[in-house]
Copies of this chain bind each other. A is one copy, B any other.
Amino acid sequence: MNGRYHWDKQLPDGVADLFYAEAARKRAAEERLRQVFFSYGYTEIIPPTFEHYESLATEAGAQLQEEMYRFFSREGRTLALRADMTIPIARIVGTKLYDQPLPLRFCYYAANVFRHEEPQAGRRHEFTQAGVELIGAAGEQADAEVMVLLVEALQKLSLRDFRISLGQAAFFKALVRESPISAETMALLWQAIDAKDDVTLRRLVASLELPAGKAAVLAALPQLQGGADVLDRADRLSLEPAARAAVRNLRRVYELLDAAGVAGHVRFDLAQVRGMDYYTGILFQVFVPGLGFPVCSGGRYDNLIAHFGADLPAVGFAMGVERLLLALEAQGVNLPVDIAPHVIVAGRPWAESIRLAAHARRRGLRVELELAARSGEDLIRYAVAREARYVLSRADEGCWRVWQGGAEKAYALDDLLEEMTHWSA
């Protein structure tokens, strides 16, 4: 056992080994999400795990670009592990699926993505995303469809008490689009808005060459958070047409969500600017009390796909599966998993064991052959520890003992085969 501690420490930061109930629970969550996505007519799309860096970097924000794992092909091209699913899916749609009837509905539910972040609490370098992309449909009904789907997916996981923070990228972009702002200043601006740091924000706004009206709205952004009254307050501000249209879009989406019975989860936040990157319209994140990071984020991105070919509007979201599992754990929700064997077959000869095992498997039961020569109490202790339902062990020639929940009964082989036709998973 010499090498143990040596190797154990050497698993890189931010990646994990999963097995037993933990692996099963992750798959159970993915399967529930898959079912909801499919029930809305979304079908799976699977891009490669790595591709050319220049492709994955298209419209990616500076932070995402910085966080990508890069390496070289033998031909000397720079490759990268995918850091999200939206950009690769945009590439596929833009280059290969531009002639399909619209809209396109694609999903993924077990997609690993990779980001090299500073190792800190809850930050993984490899993590799993589940999400959808609705492509080729502009307008509020498309926005509302993915948000209704999002709520149903979270409910399917039994997540309680979540809040969707809904913003609008076009609102902020309308305020700054005609003013020259350096990338550094923009990053500081986002940081101040995100942190609701009014002092820094006002100082930054004053340093920009903005018309007075826009400057005032920008400085007021951190106040534009809350219920539907946020939209009324925004409307009372002096807004140019693009910002006013952004508010109108939010209002219409909210009406559709309300008609679908899910508006209660929504809280507006026009100060939601971080990670805006390729988003052009609605922009949302899902938060759960007690968790310091969003479990899901998404929005409308009408200009991304055109970088790869076809010019198509799109809206979608990505959920962090590990984060959702953390949130469920924090809420005391355990998705049920079942990995115990149903039957342990411990007898010999091999031909009879194999026949009994195959018979049980055809009935949908999970069957372990006993290979460690356990018998008697030893075997039963093992079966109890493994939470097995039945133990079959050979008594005499042609005679099998069946242990079930503490009681034991003997059968001739043929009678046992008959008895087993009543067993089911």
Contacts and interface: CB of A to CB of B under 8 A. Distances in A.
A1 interface: yes
A121 interface: no
A399 interface: no
20 contacts: A1-B311, A4-B94, A7-B94, A11-B48, A18-B46, A19-B43, A19-B46, A19-B92, A39-B361, A39-B364, A40-B361, A40-B366, A49-B112, A103-B372, A141-B371, A142-B371, A256-B350, A259-B350, A260-B351, A260-B354
A307 interface: yes
A350 B81 CA distance: 40
Interface stretch (A69-77, A178-186, A225-233): A69-77
Interface in A83-111: 88, 91-92, 94-98, 101-103, 105-106, 110
A264 interface: no
Contacts of A47: 17
A148 interface: yes
A367 B385 CA distance: 44
Contacts of A116: 73-74
B341 A41 contact: yes
Given A41-B367, A141-B350, 7 more contacts: A4-B309, A8-B95, A8-B96, A10-B54, A10-B55, A11-B51, A103-B371
Interface string A17-37: 111100110110000000000
A310 interface: yes
A19 B106 contact: yes
A339 B55 contact: no
A408 interface: no
A106 B17 CA distance: 13
Taking the full assembly, how many copies of this chain does it contain?
2
A39 B94 contact: no
Contacts of A311: 1
A279 to B, nearest CB: 19
A3 B308 CA distance: 5
A207 interface: no
Interface of A: 1-4, 7-8, 10-13, 15-20, 23-24, 26-27, 38-41, 43-52, 54-55, 69-71, 73-74, 77, 79, 81, 88, 91-92, 94-98, 101-103, 105-106, 110, 112, 114, 116, 126, 134, 136-137, 139, 141-142, 144-145, 148, 256, 259-260, 307-311, 339, 341, 349-351, 354, 361, 364-369, 371-372, 382, 385-386
Given A20-B43, A369-B141, A50 B12 contact: yes
Given A7-B91, A106-B19, A148-B354, A1 B45 contact: no
Nearest to A97: B19
Given A3-B94, A52-B12, A341-B41, A71 B73 contact: no
A41 B15 CA distance: 27
Contact of A259 (B39, B139, B351, B366): B351
Contact of A126 (B1, B49, B385): B49
Contacts of A367: 39-41
6 closest A-B pairs by CB: A15-B48, A71-B71, A41-B368, A4-B309, A18-B46, A259-B351
